[in-house]
Amino acid sequence: MKKIGFIGLGIMGKPMSKNLLKAGYPLVVYDIVATAVDEVVKAGAEKGASPKDVAAKADVIITMLPNSPQVKEVVLGKDGVIETMRPGSILIDMSSIAPLVSREVAARLAEKKIRMLDAPVSGGEPKAIDGTLSIMVGGNQADFDEFLPAMKTMGASVVLCGEIGAGNVTKLANQIVVAANIAAVSEALVLATKAGVNPDLVFQAIRGGLAGSTVMNAKAPMMMDRNFKPGFRINLHIKDLNNVLDTAKGIAAPTPLTDEVMKMMLSLRDEGMGDADHSALVRFYEKIAGIELHR
Ligand code: NAD
């Protein structure tokens, strides 16, 4: 089995790397947070000293970092993986970043005959732990086929969506749907409460019909239980919606719903809720309505 270098051991990267270990892949890992590295080393990985060091020791590099600037730094920056990756090796970037940056990084790697797939994920921490993420991939078919078994140890669904950057375009589409859906669930349950109807009974009544969704099933209970522990932080969703809006501007795609949800998320961030789960979007509605959801 090829040795994998895994960089970025946060909420998602930690369980994903552990699933690769469980599947028998030898792993060398790095993160700027030492305690995160120690945890995965305890599970059986080797410790890397820097991205460059990880790349010198591995045939395949996987990155799971917050956003475009961190991916550029880890791949192309000082002590970046590009310094030691060998021709023919591959970077699989599983972070959610701007599609244009995926293409830019891939072009720089291609100059050294290094291959790349962009392979962001959806599903959050529980599915990262279970190894049942949805993985949306951009790149060429042969590279996809070669690394499908490794990706399958982390995901239940792995789909090649097009050329490099297509994975992150798909992830932006995903984040538009999730953000608008959380806002719609918030709007509906706050209206029900204001109108004197128990929001939990509304949830029970409509979840099986056309209005039901994975988002509603996951987030409505969190809203009613006042459990805003992330999960997926508002700050990260703002990052993704920024990437949506930047991408949309470049291609003149309309985004009226994303524009509105972005304003709500920014106002919550300004009030110090950036590290809360994105289900805390309901707080935007609750404050205006002067109520709180409870079962
Ligand atoms: P996180 O902030 O928990 O983890 C990111 C990790 O990267 C951290 O451990 C951090 O220390 C590390 N890091 C940052 N800069 C670094 C650098 N220069 N060198 C090495 N390590 C560095 O974030 P996360 O929730 O694990 O998300 C990672 C990516 O996955 C993001 O792009 C996010 O949008 C996406 N994502 C997250 C979820 C979720 O539910 N959390 C779901 C789907 C996709």
pLDDT, tens digit, for every residue of 39-49? 999 999 999 99
Q: Is 13 in contact with 64 (CB distance < 8 Å)?
A: yes
* CA of 58 relative to ligand 1 center, distance in Å: 21
CATH architecture of 169-289: Orthogonal Bundle (1.10)
* CA of 13 relative to ligand 1 center, distance in Å: 7
Report percent pLDDT > 90 for the chain. 98
**For position 231, what pLDDT does the model report?**
86
State the average pLDDT over residues 244-253. Answer: 96
Question: Where along the chain do its domains lie?
Answer: 4-163, 169-289
Within 8 A by CB and 6+ apart from 123, the residues are 132, 133, 134, 155
For residue 60, how far is the Cα from the chain centroid? 20
State the average pLDDT over residues 155-183. Answer: 98
pLDDT, tens digit, for every residue of 130-161? 999 999 999 999 999 999 999 999 999 999 99
pLDDT, tens digit, for every residue of 70-119? 999 999 999 999 999 999 999 999 999 999 999 999 999 999 999 999 99
Q: How confident is the model at residue 172 (pLDDT cuts 50, 70, 90)?
A: very high
Using alpha carbons, list the distances in angstroms from residue 97 to 15, 60, 141, 269.
20, 20, 21, 20
Alpha helices for 124-230 (secondary structure H): 124-130, 141-152, 166-194, 199-206, 214-225
Q: Which residues are catalytic?
A: 171
Within 8 A by CB and 6+ apart from 120, the residues are 94, 95, 96, 97, 135, 136, 167, 168, 170, 171
Q: Can 4-163 and 169-289 be said to share one CATH topology?
A: no
Query: Which CATH number is 4-163's, of 3.40.50.720, 3.80.10.10, 2.60.40.10, 1.20.950.20?
Result: 3.40.50.720
Ligand 1 contacts (CB < 6 A) are: 7-13, 30-33, 36, 64-67, 70, 73-74, 95-96, 121-122, 124-125, 231-232, 236
**Strands 121-122 vs 133-138: parallel, antiparallel or unpaired:** antiparallel
The residues pairing with 63 across neighbouring beta strands, listed in sequence order, are: 7, 93
